[in-house]
Amino acid sequence: MGTPPIIRWIIADGHQRRATEYTSRLLSSLIGGRAEIVPHADTAAQHPSVYYGDHATNNDSASLRITPDRAFWHTVEQGGDPSPVASRLWRDIEFPIWDRSAAAAVGRDTAVKLCPVDPIAAAFFLVSRIEEWRSKASDQHGRFPAKRSWLVRHELIETPVVHDYAAAIAESIGLKTPFDSSRANWCHDRRFAVAFTHDIDRLRMHGPLWQDVRRSIGALRFAGGRRTTAKRFRSRALTRNGRQRDPYDTVDQLSQWHARNGNRATFFLINTKPSATDADYSCGEPRIQSLIKSLTDQGHEVGLHGSYSSFDHPERLGQEKSGLERIVGAESRVTRQHYLRFAPQTTWPAHIASGFKIDSTLGHAERFGFRAGLAVPFRPWDFRADAPFDLWELPLVMMDVTAREYMKLTPQQAIERSDLILRQIARVGGAAAVLWHNSSFDDIDWHGWPDVYRAWLSEAARLEGYSATVSEIVQSWRDYLDTLAMP
């Protein structure tokens, strides 16, 4: 990686200065440049620069001038509804706006360009998840509904748009489009990085007889239900007779599969009392402890899959974490919440209070895509402290259940849509996590779907992706930020 360019951000606006500096540094990292933040213009400056304020001095040397969207920042300060009132195109990219009277564009051939939108406000709006902080809407699991997301409503959820905001700024100040080569080496000479992750919710398809009966009754409502029911009870008989493994008992096979392909994956295990809403196993069982040892011996990562009720209970989450650490024999740094239950006001603080360093919950259960508009690890914003959380988030962009249960895709449709997501990550030279449950490899309820996961693996390899654990990818990104002298 060559010497990164210096990007001067002239933050002349005093409102929400910490938030604007945080966003400016983030955008610089996406561009591949080192952020230099100053309060006023300097005619002697020789670096590409962005002026952010209402009025520039006559000798302003900035390459791009951005007028803050006062309506947005007023909402941030006063605690109102952060919903954009409209959107506007700049360089063929859609930006949210809150002030319809924002500056109009100046011709591209002028010495200083006046930006017609506020990309700093737009990026902060998406990355900070302020629409979730301020929303009271929730689904049956207490999650922010994807349909309420600005990105979903504008059909931008499957594009990492904050990277495109950074590219628009880069091009406007005379820098090369950042996705071409400036960050080509941040993830071990690969184009992008992907963490293949597995949430271990259930290890037994065939529990009490009534469970198989209930599933079979449900299956009879659909085409092929009788055939599925017959396969289920044949599988039950074979499993009970010891002639086959339970269809959900695939974790060790999966880990060996990854190892043969040179991949290290992250496995999230639930560590609480077995229940209908949580796991059907206990991490204290000898067979589970043996499984955990096998995973770590093969170089995989074991993280905590926070129980259903732990997403807003730091004490409960801390107990689950310490219990898993005793079993693993090492610190548990990585977590993801069961059912992707998440609320920014409570979940991130609970993670920090419990001692976690990395989370990978931030993805919509209902849709593939980039919930915060980002495809890199980032430190989320804490509105209460007016500073970033001491926690890293690796975005979750795809899940098996999302494709089958929520988006109602066929396996072939899921392959096509997931290929698009992986190409987007590769396009911006980013990183993200994908999720496939161990229970989604069975040939009864998930017939044809294992081919989807194999397609994820092959497409990531074809696109020259770097496959590693969640912790390894976050550390690689942090090492890259160190080269930019960024916190």
Q: Assess contact for 325 and 331: CB atoms under 8 A.
A: yes
Same domain, 278 and 309: yes
Looking at the domain assignment, is residue 214 inside a domain?
A: no
Same domain, 263 and 158: no
Give Cα separations from 428 to 16, 192, 275, 398 (angstroms).
28, 8, 41, 17
> What CATH number corresponds to the domain at position 444?
3.20.20.370
Q: Assess contact for 402 and 394: CB atoms under 8 A.
A: no
Q: What is the pLDDT of residue 105?
A: 42
Residues 6+ apart with CB under 8 A from 11: 17, 20, 21, 24, 37, 38, 39, 52, 53
Q: What is the pLDDT of residue 358?
A: 98
If one counts the domains in the chain, the total is: 2
Q: What is the pLDDT of residue 200?
A: 97
Same domain, 153 and 272: no
Looking at the domain assignment, is residue 167 inside a domain?
A: yes
Looking at the domain assignment, is residue 229 inside a domain?
A: no
Same domain, 438 and 330: yes
Residues 6+ apart with CB under 8 A from 261: 457
Q: What is the pLDDT of residue 260?
A: 83
Q: Provide the phi-psi class of 99: left if phi over 0, else alpha when psi is between -120 and 50, else beta.
A: beta
- Give the integer Cα–Cα distance in Å for 130 and 152: 15
Q: What is the pLDDT of residue 178?
A: 58
Same domain, 370 and 437: yes
- Give the integer Cα–Cα distance in Å for 234 and 403: 27
Q: Assess contact for 62 and 50: CB atoms under 8 A.
A: yes
Same domain, 146 and 199: no
Q: What is the pLDDT of residue 282?
A: 94
Query: pLDDT tens-digit profile of 194-218?
Result: 999 999 999 987 777 767 677 667 6
- Give the integer Cα–Cα distance in Å for 436 and 457: 11
Same domain, 44 and 73: yes
Query: pLDDT tens-digit profile of 55-74?
Result: 655 445 678 999 999 999 99
Looking at the domain assignment, is residue 286 inside a domain?
A: yes
Q: What is the pLDDT of residue 222?
A: 59
Q: What is the pLDDT of residue 72?
A: 96
Q: Which amino acid is at 103?
A: A
Question: Sign of the CA dihedral 71, 103, 162, 487?
Answer: negative
Q: Assess contact for 53 and 11: CB atoms under 8 A.
A: yes
Q: Assess contact for 393 and 359: CB atoms under 8 A.
A: yes
Block means of pLDDT (10 residues each) for the chain, 487 residues, are 83 88 96 90 74 67 89 93 95 94 48 85 98 96 97 98 96 76 64 96 81 66 68 76 84 87 94 92 94 94 97 96 95 97 97 97 98 98 97 98 97 98 96 96 90 95 94 95 81
- Give the integer Cα–Cα distance in Å for 117 and 236: 60
| Residues of the domain holding 165 | 6-172
Residue 79: what are its φ and ψ, rounded to 5°?
Answer: 85, 25
Q: What is the pTM of this model?
A: 0.93
